[in-house]
Chain A
Amino acid sequence: MLDLIYKYVSPQTLAWLIVAFPLAGALLNGIHSLLAGRFHFKPSKVFTSILGVGLPFFSFAVTLIIFATLIGFPQGQEPTMITGPLFEWAATQGLSITFGLKLDQLSLVMALIVTGVGSLIHLYSTGYMAHDEGYARYFSHLNLFLTFMLLLVLGDSLVLLFVGWEGVGLCSYLLIGFWFEDPYKAYCGKKAFIVNRIGDTGFLLGMFLIYTALAGADLPAEQHQNQFFNFEVIRHFSAYLLPAATPICLLLFLGAVGKSAQIPLYVWLPDAMAGPTPVSALIHAATMVTAGVYMVARLSFLYVMSPFAMEVVAWTGAITALFAATIGLLQTDIKKVLAYSTISQLGYMFLALGVGAFSAGIFHLMTHAFFKALLFLGAGSVIHALGGEQDITKMGGLKERMPITCWTFVIASAAIAGIFPFAGFFSKDAILWHTFHGGHISLWLIAFLGAGLTAFYMFRLVGMVFFGEPVMKAAQWMKVHESPPSMASVLMILAVLSAVGGWIGIPYALGGGDHLQEWLAPVFAKTVGVIEIGSHATEIVMAVLSLLWALHFVILAWVIYAQRKEWPARMAGRLRLLYRLVFNKYWIDEIYNFLIVRPLIWTSEKFLWGIMDVRLIDQFGVHGTGRMMLVWNRLVTLMQTGVVQQYLFFFVVGVILIIWGMLFK
Chain B
Amino acid sequence: MITLNHYLILAALLFCIGIFGVIVRRNILIILMSIELMLSAVNLVFIAFSRYLGGLDGHVWVFMVLTVAAAEAAVGLGIIVAVFRNKETVYVDEVKELKG
Contact = CB atoms under 8 A, between A and B. Distances in A.
A59 B17 CA distance: 97
Contacts of B95: 644
Contacts of B97: 642
B99 A645 contact: no
Interface residues of A, number: 12
A10 interface: no
Contact of A642 (B23, B24, B99): B99
Interface in B84-100: 92-93, 95-100
B65 interface: no
Contact of A648 (B23, B93, B96, B99): B23
B99 A640 contact: yes
A645 B100 contact: no
Interface string A624-665: 000000000000110111111100110010000000000000
Given A645-B92, A645-B93, A640 B23 contact: no
B19 interface: yes
B100 A637 contact: yes
Interface residues of B, number: 14
B22 interface: yes
Contacts of B92: 643-645
A643 B93 contact: yes
Contacts of A652: 19, 23
Nearest to A647: B98
A654 to B, nearest CB: 13
Contacts of A640: 98-100
A645 B20 CA distance: 10
Interface string B16-30: 000100111010000
Contacts of B19: 652
A641 B95 CA distance: 11
Residue with the greatest number of chain B CB neighbours at <10 A, chosen from A643, A648, A649: A643
Interface string A545-583: 000000000000000000000000000000000000000
A652 B24 CA distance: 12
13 contacts: A637-B100, A640-B98, A640-B99, A641-B100, A642-B99, A642-B100, A643-B92, A644-B92, A644-B95, A644-B96, A645-B23, A645-B31, A649-B23
Interface of A: 636-637, 639-645, 648-649, 652
Given A642-B99, A642-B100, A643-B92, 16 more contacts: A636-B100, A640-B98, A640-B99, A640-B100, A641-B99, A642-B98, A643-B96, A644-B92, A644-B96, A645-B22, A645-B23, A645-B24, A645-B93, A648-B22, A648-B23, A652-B19
